[in-house]
Structure 1
Amino acid sequence: MQITLIAIGKTDSSELSKLIAIYEKRLKHYIKFQFLIIPDIKNSKNLSEAVQKEKEGELILSHIQTADVLITLDEKGKQFTSIDFSQFLQKKMNSGIKNLVLVIGGPYGFSDAIYKRSNEKISLSKMTFSHQMVRLFLIEQLYRGFTILRNEPYHHQ
Protein backbone atom coordinates (compact mmCIF):
# COMPACT_ATOMS: atom_id res chain seq x y z
CA MET A 1 0.00 0.00 0.00
CA GLN A 2 1.01 3.57 -0.60
CA ILE A 3 -0.13 6.53 1.46
CA THR A 4 -0.52 9.85 -0.30
CA LEU A 5 -1.07 13.03 1.68
CA ILE A 6 -2.54 15.91 -0.28
CA ALA A 7 -2.57 19.45 1.11
CA ILE A 8 -3.48 22.84 -0.33
CA GLY A 9 -0.74 25.50 -0.32
CA LYS A 10 2.87 25.42 0.73
CA THR A 11 4.06 25.54 4.31
CA ASP A 12 5.14 29.08 5.14
CA SER A 13 7.17 28.19 8.23
CA SER A 14 10.68 26.82 7.62
CA GLU A 15 10.61 25.29 11.11
CA LEU A 16 7.44 23.35 10.35
CA SER A 17 8.84 22.30 6.96
CA LYS A 18 11.94 20.88 8.64
CA LEU A 19 9.87 18.89 11.15
CA ILE A 20 7.57 17.61 8.41
CA ALA A 21 10.63 16.49 6.42
CA ILE A 22 12.01 14.61 9.44
CA TYR A 23 8.82 12.60 9.93
CA GLU A 24 8.34 12.12 6.20
CA LYS A 25 11.83 10.57 6.00
CA ARG A 26 11.13 8.35 9.01
CA LEU A 27 7.78 7.26 7.61
CA LYS A 28 9.34 6.11 4.35
CA HIS A 29 11.10 3.31 6.27
CA TYR A 30 7.70 1.71 6.85
CA ILE A 31 5.58 2.45 3.81
CA LYS A 32 5.65 4.05 0.40
CA PHE A 33 4.67 7.66 1.12
CA GLN A 34 4.02 10.66 -1.09
CA PHE A 35 3.34 14.21 0.10
CA LEU A 36 1.64 16.21 -2.63
CA ILE A 37 1.20 19.94 -2.18
CA ILE A 38 -1.32 21.59 -4.46
CA PRO A 39 -0.50 25.27 -5.02
CA ASP A 40 -2.83 27.87 -3.56
CA ILE A 41 -5.56 29.09 -5.90
CA LYS A 42 -4.44 32.30 -7.60
CA ASN A 43 -6.42 35.42 -6.75
CA SER A 44 -8.32 33.50 -4.08
CA LYS A 45 -9.02 36.76 -2.23
CA ASN A 46 -11.31 37.73 -5.09
CA LEU A 47 -13.26 34.46 -4.91
CA SER A 48 -16.17 33.51 -2.68
CA GLU A 49 -15.64 30.67 -0.20
CA ALA A 50 -17.83 28.38 -2.31
CA VAL A 51 -15.90 29.08 -5.53
CA GLN A 52 -12.55 28.65 -3.78
CA LYS A 53 -13.65 25.28 -2.32
CA GLU A 54 -14.92 24.19 -5.74
CA LYS A 55 -11.65 25.10 -7.48
CA GLU A 56 -9.58 23.41 -4.76
CA GLY A 57 -11.83 20.37 -5.04
CA GLU A 58 -11.25 20.13 -8.77
CA LEU A 59 -7.49 20.25 -8.24
CA ILE A 60 -7.64 17.59 -5.53
CA LEU A 61 -9.84 15.30 -7.64
CA SER A 62 -7.43 15.60 -10.57
CA HIS A 63 -4.90 13.69 -8.41
CA ILE A 64 -7.31 10.95 -7.28
CA GLN A 65 -7.59 7.67 -9.16
CA THR A 66 -10.76 5.58 -9.27
CA ALA A 67 -9.30 2.82 -7.09
CA ASP A 68 -7.87 5.20 -4.48
CA VAL A 69 -9.42 5.25 -1.03
CA LEU A 70 -9.96 8.90 -0.13
CA ILE A 71 -10.03 10.03 3.48
CA THR A 72 -10.72 13.66 4.29
CA LEU A 73 -9.50 15.31 7.46
CA ASP A 74 -12.61 16.93 8.80
CA GLU A 75 -13.60 18.27 12.21
CA LYS A 76 -16.72 16.09 12.08
CA GLY A 77 -14.76 12.95 11.26
CA LYS A 78 -14.03 9.93 13.40
CA GLN A 79 -11.46 10.44 16.14
CA PHE A 80 -8.89 7.84 17.16
CA THR A 81 -6.38 7.21 19.87
CA SER A 82 -2.92 6.60 18.44
CA ILE A 83 -3.31 2.86 18.99
CA ASP A 84 -6.73 2.85 17.32
CA PHE A 85 -5.27 4.81 14.40
CA SER A 86 -2.48 2.23 14.02
CA GLN A 87 -5.14 -0.51 13.88
CA PHE A 88 -7.07 1.57 11.32
CA LEU A 89 -3.91 1.68 9.17
CA GLN A 90 -3.40 -2.07 9.58
CA LYS A 91 -6.97 -2.77 8.43
CA LYS A 92 -6.44 -0.59 5.37
CA MET A 93 -3.24 -2.45 4.52
CA ASN A 94 -4.93 -5.82 5.03
CA SER A 95 -7.81 -4.85 2.74
CA GLY A 96 -5.54 -4.70 -0.31
CA ILE A 97 -5.81 -0.99 -0.96
CA LYS A 98 -3.15 0.22 -3.38
CA ASN A 99 -3.29 3.91 -2.47
CA LEU A 100 -4.73 5.45 0.67
CA VAL A 101 -5.15 9.18 0.06
CA LEU A 102 -5.46 11.54 3.02
CA VAL A 103 -6.53 15.08 2.18
CA ILE A 104 -6.14 18.27 4.21
CA GLY A 105 -8.45 20.88 2.76
CA GLY A 106 -8.01 24.58 2.32
CA PRO A 107 -9.04 27.26 4.81
CA TYR A 108 -12.76 26.79 4.12
CA GLY A 109 -12.82 23.00 4.02
CA PHE A 110 -13.94 20.83 1.14
CA SER A 111 -16.30 21.14 -1.79
CA ASP A 112 -19.38 18.93 -2.05
CA ALA A 113 -17.61 16.98 -4.80
CA ILE A 114 -14.82 16.01 -2.40
CA TYR A 115 -17.29 14.93 0.29
CA LYS A 116 -19.16 12.82 -2.28
CA ARG A 117 -15.92 11.14 -3.40
CA SER A 118 -14.59 10.68 0.12
CA ASN A 119 -14.71 7.16 1.54
CA GLU A 120 -14.29 8.28 5.15
CA LYS A 121 -13.72 11.33 7.33
CA ILE A 122 -11.29 11.42 10.23
CA SER A 123 -10.51 14.14 12.74
CA LEU A 124 -7.29 14.72 14.65
CA SER A 125 -9.07 16.65 17.38
CA LYS A 126 -12.18 18.61 18.27
CA MET A 127 -9.88 21.63 18.36
CA THR A 128 -9.09 23.64 15.26
CA PHE A 129 -5.47 23.70 14.08
CA SER A 130 -3.84 25.63 11.29
CA HIS A 131 -3.68 23.70 8.04
CA GLN A 132 0.09 23.84 8.24
CA MET A 133 0.21 22.35 11.75
CA VAL A 134 -2.18 19.57 10.74
CA ARG A 135 0.36 18.38 8.16
CA LEU A 136 2.97 17.87 10.85
CA PHE A 137 0.51 16.26 13.29
CA LEU A 138 -0.81 13.84 10.67
CA ILE A 139 2.59 12.77 9.37
CA GLU A 140 3.80 12.27 12.94
CA GLN A 141 0.71 10.17 13.74
CA LEU A 142 1.28 8.06 10.62
CA TYR A 143 4.86 7.46 11.76
CA ARG A 144 3.68 6.73 15.32
CA GLY A 145 1.08 4.30 13.95
CA PHE A 146 3.68 2.26 12.12
CA THR A 147 6.02 2.17 15.13
CA ILE A 148 3.08 0.88 17.20
CA LEU A 149 2.37 -1.83 14.62
CA ARG A 150 6.02 -2.91 14.81
CA ASN A 151 6.14 -2.75 18.61
CA GLU A 152 8.93 -0.19 18.47
CA PRO A 153 9.63 1.99 21.51
CA TYR A 154 8.55 5.36 20.05
CA HIS A 155 5.04 5.28 21.52
CA HIS A 156 4.59 4.98 25.28
CA GLN A 157 1.34 3.73 26.75
Structure 2
Amino acid sequence: MKLIFFVGMPVMLTRKHPLLLEADVIANGVLGNIVGMYPTPEELSMIRFEVDGVVVHKLQCPPKLLLIKLHSYHNTLVNGFPEGVIGLPPLHASLRLLKIPNLSQASVTVDQFAAVPAFACTTEKLQGQTCHDGVVVSPLDRRRGTPAQNTVRRVIL
Protein backbone atom coordinates (compact mmCIF):
# COMPACT_ATOMS: atom_id res chain seq x y z
CA MET A 1 0.00 0.00 0.00
CA LYS A 2 1.24 3.46 -0.84
CA LEU A 3 -0.01 6.37 1.22
CA ILE A 4 1.04 9.67 -0.24
CA PHE A 5 0.24 12.70 1.89
CA PHE A 6 1.84 15.82 3.25
CA VAL A 7 1.26 18.11 6.20
CA GLY A 8 -1.25 20.75 5.16
CA MET A 9 -2.89 18.53 2.52
CA PRO A 10 -6.69 19.01 2.36
CA VAL A 11 -8.57 15.75 2.87
CA MET A 12 -12.15 14.52 3.01
CA LEU A 13 -13.17 11.73 5.36
CA THR A 14 -14.93 9.01 3.38
CA ARG A 15 -16.17 6.77 6.15
CA LYS A 16 -16.71 6.90 9.90
CA HIS A 17 -14.24 4.65 11.72
CA PRO A 18 -15.88 2.18 14.17
CA LEU A 19 -13.63 3.47 16.98
CA LEU A 20 -14.97 7.00 16.41
CA LEU A 21 -18.72 6.22 16.47
CA GLU A 22 -19.29 8.42 19.53
CA ALA A 23 -17.80 11.51 17.82
CA ASP A 24 -20.77 13.34 16.28
CA VAL A 25 -18.61 15.75 14.25
CA ILE A 26 -16.97 12.96 12.24
CA ALA A 27 -18.98 11.76 9.25
CA ASN A 28 -18.69 10.99 5.56
CA GLY A 29 -17.75 14.17 3.71
CA VAL A 30 -16.15 16.11 6.58
CA LEU A 31 -13.27 18.26 5.34
CA GLY A 32 -9.98 18.94 7.09
CA ASN A 33 -6.22 19.28 6.70
CA ILE A 34 -3.50 16.83 7.71
CA VAL A 35 -1.45 18.38 10.51
CA GLY A 36 0.74 15.39 11.36
CA MET A 37 0.83 11.72 12.22
CA TYR A 38 1.50 9.47 15.17
CA PRO A 39 4.11 8.16 15.67
CA THR A 40 6.18 10.89 14.03
CA PRO A 41 8.34 9.98 11.00
CA GLU A 42 11.42 10.11 13.22
CA GLU A 43 9.93 7.39 15.44
CA LEU A 44 9.10 5.10 12.49
CA SER A 45 11.43 3.19 10.23
CA MET A 46 11.82 5.36 7.13
CA ILE A 47 13.99 6.39 4.23
CA ARG A 48 14.54 10.16 3.93
CA PHE A 49 15.52 11.75 0.62
CA GLU A 50 15.22 15.07 -1.18
CA VAL A 51 13.57 15.76 -4.54
CA ASP A 52 13.94 19.26 -6.01
CA GLY A 53 14.46 20.75 -2.56
CA VAL A 54 11.48 18.91 -1.01
CA VAL A 55 12.22 16.44 1.79
CA VAL A 56 10.35 13.14 1.30
CA HIS A 57 9.91 10.56 4.08
CA LYS A 58 9.24 7.06 2.72
CA LEU A 59 7.84 5.11 5.67
CA GLN A 60 8.45 1.37 5.97
CA CYS A 61 5.09 0.92 7.75
CA PRO A 62 2.03 3.19 7.96
CA PRO A 63 1.46 5.42 11.01
CA LYS A 64 -1.06 4.44 13.69
CA LEU A 65 -2.92 7.75 13.40
CA LEU A 66 -3.29 10.55 10.87
CA LEU A 67 -3.79 13.82 12.75
CA ILE A 68 -6.44 15.87 10.95
CA LYS A 69 -7.63 19.40 11.79
CA LEU A 70 -11.31 19.49 10.88
CA HIS A 71 -12.69 22.62 9.21
CA SER A 72 -15.21 24.67 11.21
CA TYR A 73 -14.54 22.91 14.55
CA HIS A 74 -12.82 25.08 17.13
CA ASN A 75 -13.40 23.15 20.37
CA THR A 76 -11.21 20.40 21.75
CA LEU A 77 -12.50 17.15 20.25
CA VAL A 78 -9.91 14.81 21.78
CA ASN A 79 -8.23 15.36 25.15
CA GLY A 80 -4.55 16.13 24.68
CA PHE A 81 -4.96 17.26 21.04
CA PRO A 82 -5.15 20.88 19.80
CA GLU A 83 -8.56 22.43 19.01
CA GLY A 84 -10.43 20.69 16.19
CA VAL A 85 -7.81 17.94 15.71
CA ILE A 86 -8.68 14.23 15.62
CA GLY A 87 -6.51 11.14 15.33
CA LEU A 88 -7.81 8.98 12.47
CA PRO A 89 -6.80 5.30 12.72
CA PRO A 90 -6.64 3.10 9.60
CA LEU A 91 -9.62 0.90 8.70
CA HIS A 92 -9.05 -2.85 8.45
CA ALA A 93 -11.06 -4.61 5.73
CA SER A 94 -11.01 -8.18 4.39
CA LEU A 95 -12.68 -9.43 1.24
CA ARG A 96 -13.15 -13.07 0.18
CA LEU A 97 -12.94 -13.74 -3.57
CA LEU A 98 -15.75 -16.31 -3.68
CA LYS A 99 -17.08 -15.37 -7.13
CA ILE A 100 -13.74 -15.87 -8.92
CA PRO A 101 -13.41 -19.60 -9.77
CA ASN A 102 -9.63 -19.99 -9.50
CA LEU A 103 -9.37 -17.78 -6.42
CA SER A 104 -12.43 -18.85 -4.39
CA GLN A 105 -10.27 -19.67 -1.34
CA ALA A 106 -8.28 -16.43 -1.55
CA SER A 107 -8.90 -13.22 0.34
CA VAL A 108 -7.59 -9.68 0.22
CA THR A 109 -6.87 -7.69 3.38
CA VAL A 110 -6.40 -3.93 3.30
CA ASP A 111 -5.46 -1.44 6.01
CA GLN A 112 -6.11 2.11 4.83
CA PHE A 113 -7.12 5.51 6.12
CA ALA A 114 -10.68 6.60 5.31
CA ALA A 115 -9.52 9.90 3.82
CA VAL A 116 -9.01 11.08 0.26
CA PRO A 117 -7.31 14.20 -1.10
CA ALA A 118 -9.79 17.09 -1.27
CA PHE A 119 -8.15 19.66 -3.49
CA ALA A 120 -11.43 19.70 -5.42
CA CYS A 121 -14.81 18.19 -4.57
CA THR A 122 -17.93 17.39 -6.54
CA THR A 123 -21.17 19.18 -5.72
CA GLU A 124 -22.58 15.90 -4.39
CA LYS A 125 -19.76 15.56 -1.84
CA LEU A 126 -20.10 19.22 -0.79
CA GLN A 127 -23.83 19.13 -0.09
CA GLY A 128 -24.49 20.66 3.30
CA GLN A 129 -21.02 22.21 3.52
CA THR A 130 -20.30 25.96 3.61
CA CYS A 131 -17.62 27.01 1.13
CA HIS A 132 -15.64 29.97 2.47
CA ASP A 133 -12.99 30.12 -0.27
CA GLY A 134 -15.35 30.37 -3.23
CA VAL A 135 -16.86 27.88 -5.63
CA VAL A 136 -15.76 27.28 -9.20
CA VAL A 137 -18.36 25.81 -11.53
CA SER A 138 -16.98 24.53 -14.81
CA PRO A 139 -19.29 24.68 -17.83
CA LEU A 140 -20.60 21.20 -18.59
CA ASP A 141 -22.86 19.79 -21.25
CA ARG A 142 -26.00 19.39 -19.15
CA ARG A 143 -28.52 17.84 -21.50
CA ARG A 144 -30.13 16.06 -18.58
CA GLY A 145 -29.92 16.25 -14.82
CA THR A 146 -29.99 19.15 -12.39
CA PRO A 147 -29.17 22.64 -13.73
CA ALA A 148 -25.82 23.94 -12.42
CA GLN A 149 -27.28 26.97 -10.61
CA ASN A 150 -29.61 24.75 -8.52
CA THR A 151 -26.74 22.44 -7.60
CA VAL A 152 -24.52 25.31 -6.48
CA ARG A 153 -27.36 26.90 -4.51
CA ARG A 154 -27.77 23.64 -2.59
CA VAL A 155 -24.02 23.49 -1.89
CA ILE A 156 -23.52 27.05 -0.62
CA LEU A 157 -26.63 27.21 1.64
| TM-score interval for Structure 1 and Structure 2 normalised by the shorter chain | under 0.3
Bigger RCO of structures 1 and 2 (CA < 8 A, at least 6 apart): 1
Bigger radius of gyration among the two: 2
Normalized against structure 2, the TM-score is what? 0.20
Q: Which has the higher strand share?
A: 2
Q: Which has the higher helix share?
A: 1
Normalized against structure 1, the TM-score is what? 0.20
